[in-house]
């Protein structure tokens, strides 16, 4: 590493000299240069570590402020910054949480989010696994063209579909029903799910399928007994991805649930709270943190799969 643009700190140089007296470096002539290099390296890596810590700190402060605020009494939230609440005497309370869960319908909204997100995750993953298996390991006319269409549909803006689908829903009486929103999330998640799973399934070695076929196993048996167990890590990535997407969705719920507050998920409920409560942060912070809790748990426990999913298919529309 030859950093030519960094100032050298003379004091650090002498300190470094005192420390670095391994015989080879003192004896050899290029030793002076390598000494300087080692010094630069240490100064630089210290500097870089400092910058990285600073970035991580800056990135975490807003969320941390929300968390701290959600545990402070309403009067204090309005009269002093959350950072002053970090110093003793502490006045933390769970009051904001009990208030939003009971009075503001956030408890119901949390359940609604689960009711929407669980089928909204499982349904597309199951249907996409069937399709991805066929696209990866079966041969049928039109297969490649259909798959190209799926690739094209990956990036279609959802806005292209809302008005026509809503008018279909109105005709069928699906507006404001959970079935309507499950099907919508399933369909919208489908191109990405198929795309991701096909690339995972297609990368499994062919000879294991081959020998299963020779042993007389049918496609369904191969799919359930062989492919699904092998593909569990990829399915996990997709499950996490789709779950986060559905859990965090605002637009689809806003439109297909037709504004029924008893069915609204957390995102819609919180957006309504922002509209009606503006700066009432004792309500907003607790509600927002409740909405983040589950994704954060999923994120921390399954980060590896999440990252894997992101790396494999970074083109979600």
- Rank residues 90 and 130 by Cβ distance to other proteins and give the closer one: 130
- Rank residues 35 and 288 by Cβ distance to other proteins and give the closer one: 288
Q: How far apart are CA 71 and CA 97, in angstroms?
A: 8
Under the criterion CB under 8 A, does residue 176 sit at the interface with other proteins? no
Q: How many CB atoms lie within 10 A of CB 272?
A: 17
Min dist CB 133 to other proteins, Å, is: 6
Binding mask 231-260 for other proteins (x = CB under 8 A): -------------x--xxxxx--xx-----
Which of these segments, 7-15, 24-32, 95-103, 152-160, binds other proteins (CB under 8 A)? 152-160
Q: If residue 46 lies in a helix (H) or strand (E), which one and from where to where? A: helix 31-70
Min dist CB 245 to other proteins, Å, is: 10
Residues in Cβ contact with 255 at an 8 Å cutoff, skipping those fewer than 6 apart: 162, 166
Angle (deg, nearest 10), helices 143-153 and 106-137: 150
Residues in Cβ contact with 249 at an 8 Å cutoff, skipping those fewer than 6 apart: 185, 265, 267
Q: What is the DSSP string of 83-100?
A: GGGGSSSP---SHHHHHH
| Block residue for tokens 């063209």 | 145
Under the criterion CB under 8 A, does residue 183 sit at the interface with other proteins? yes
Q: Which of residues 47-76 bind other proteins (CB under 8 A)?
A: 48-49, 51-53, 55-57, 59-63, 65-66, 69
Q: Which of residues 87-116 bind other proteins (CB under 8 A)?
A: none
Under the criterion CB under 8 A, does residue 138 sit at the interface with other proteins? yes
Under the criterion CB under 8 A, does residue 276 sit at the interface with other proteins? no
């Amino acid at each position: 590493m030859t950093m030519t643009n960094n100032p050298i700190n003379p004091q650090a140089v002498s300190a470094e000299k005192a420390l670095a007296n391994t015989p080879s470096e003192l004896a050899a002539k290029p030793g002076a240069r390598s000494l300087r290099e080692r010094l630069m390296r240490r100064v630089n890596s210290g500097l870089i570590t400092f910058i990285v810590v600073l970035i991580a700190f800056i990135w975490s402060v807003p969320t941390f402020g929300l968390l701290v605020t959600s545990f402070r009494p309403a009067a204090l939230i309005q009269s002093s910054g959350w950072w002053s609440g970090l110093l003793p005497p502490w006045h933390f309370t769970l009051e904001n949480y009990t208030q939003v869960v009971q009075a503001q319908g956030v408890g119901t909204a949390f359940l609604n989010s689960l009711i929407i997100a669980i089928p909204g995750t499982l349904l597309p993953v199951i249907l996409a696994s069937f399709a991805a298996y066929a696209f990866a390991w079966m041969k049928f006319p039109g297969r490649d063209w259909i798959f190209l269409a799926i690739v094209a549909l990956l990036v279609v803006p959802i806005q292209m579909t809302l008005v026509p689908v809503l008018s279909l829903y109105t005709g069928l009486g699906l507006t404001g029903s959970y079935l309507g929103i499950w099907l919508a999330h399933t369909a919208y998640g489908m191109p990405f799910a198929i795309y991701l799973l096909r690339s995972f399934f297609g990368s499994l070695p062919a000879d294991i399928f081959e020998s299963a076929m020779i042993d007389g196993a049918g496609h369904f048996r191969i799919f359930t007994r062989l492919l699904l167990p092998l593909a569990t890590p990829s399915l996990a990535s997709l499950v996490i991805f789709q779950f986060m997407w559905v859990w965090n969705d605002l637009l689809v719920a806003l439109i297909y649930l037709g504004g029924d507050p008893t069915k609204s998920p957390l995102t819609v409920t919180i957006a309504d709270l922002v509209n009606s409560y503006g700066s009432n942060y004792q309500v907003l912070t607790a509600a927002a943190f409740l909405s983040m809790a589950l994704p954060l748990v999923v994120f921390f426990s399954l980060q590896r799969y999440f990252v894997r999913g992101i790396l494999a298919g970074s083109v979600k529309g």
